[in-house]
Every structure is written in structure tokens, then in C-alpha cells.
Amino acid sequence: MNNRLRKFDPAVDKKFLIALSGIIWSVVGIILCSFAVQWLSHTTLQKAVLLAITGIALAFMIYRFGFLKVVDKNIEPIHTKQGKVCIFGFQPWKSYIIIVIMIALGRTLRLSPLPKPYLAIIYIGFGGAMLLSSLIYYRFFLRLMSNS
């Protein structure tokens, strides 16, 4: 990169980038789960528990069969880079397109006529999977910190 342009590169230490990734995944997971909790609070306790358990089961499946691979693909390039890494480099650029699509889909679902308690299953599924996945970032961050 041209030296004059390099001063505008928002580069950070890769340890910070790993921690930031975990924080972002946690915050989004908490936001999604809080939507679900709010929606489930407007239904009976028995129905809320059943829907929540279903959402938690979905969260473990999404985590195991989807997000584990995504997190590994995100961590590997950061870990192998030398020196500082661009702050937006915690995900490949293609992932940003997927993020925009997911946000639009989430908004569309929230505005749809689908009953919110049933929509809570999906939100718990993705939110819970994101929270579980954020733990991988934190564990990797702690490992980097203990090695330095």
C-alpha cells in the first residue's frame, strides 16, 4: 500500500481484532435473544418454555453445523497475518454482503405477520449460536494473551 495511504488504514493488533470480533458476535447474539425474550413474554409460560427450548436446540445446531466453520474461517486469516490488521478484516468482504442480507431478512421477518412467539425460535437459534460462537473468539484471544 502506498505510504501516504497507509496512515488512513485503520489497523489494530490482531489480538484486539480477535477480541473485537467476539464482542461483536456477543452483542448481536444478545440483541437477537432479547427480541425473542420480549416476544415470548407475551405468551403463556408453558408455550414460552416450549418455544425457548426449541430455539435453544436450534442454536446448538446452527452453532455446530454452521457457525463453528465460519468462526474458524474468520480467525485463521487474522491469526496468520504479521503485524497489525485492518479493523474491518475480522471477516472476509463476502461476509459483509451476507450480514446486510441477514439484517434485511431479520427486519422483514419482524415486520411480517408471522406470530412473534414463533419467530422467537429463529431469533433464539441465531442469537444463541452467535453467543456460543463468540466464546471461541474469547478463548482464542485469551490464548494469544497468555502466549505474549
pLDDT digits (tens, 9 = 90+) for 32-57: 999 999 999 999 999 999 999 999 99
Instruction: Return the pLDDT at 17.
Output: 87
Report the C-alpha gap between 53 and 59 in whole angstroms. 10
Instruction: Kindly indicate the confidence band of residue 14, based on its pLDDT and cuts at 50, 70 and 90.
Output: confident
Res 2 pLDDT > 80: no
Contact 136, 73 (CB under 8 A): no
Instruction: Return the pLDDT at 5.
Output: 52
Contact 99, 27 (CB under 8 A): no
3-state secondary structure of 85: strand
Instruction: Kindly indicate the confidence band of residue 11, based on its pLDDT and cuts at 50, 70 and 90.
Output: confident
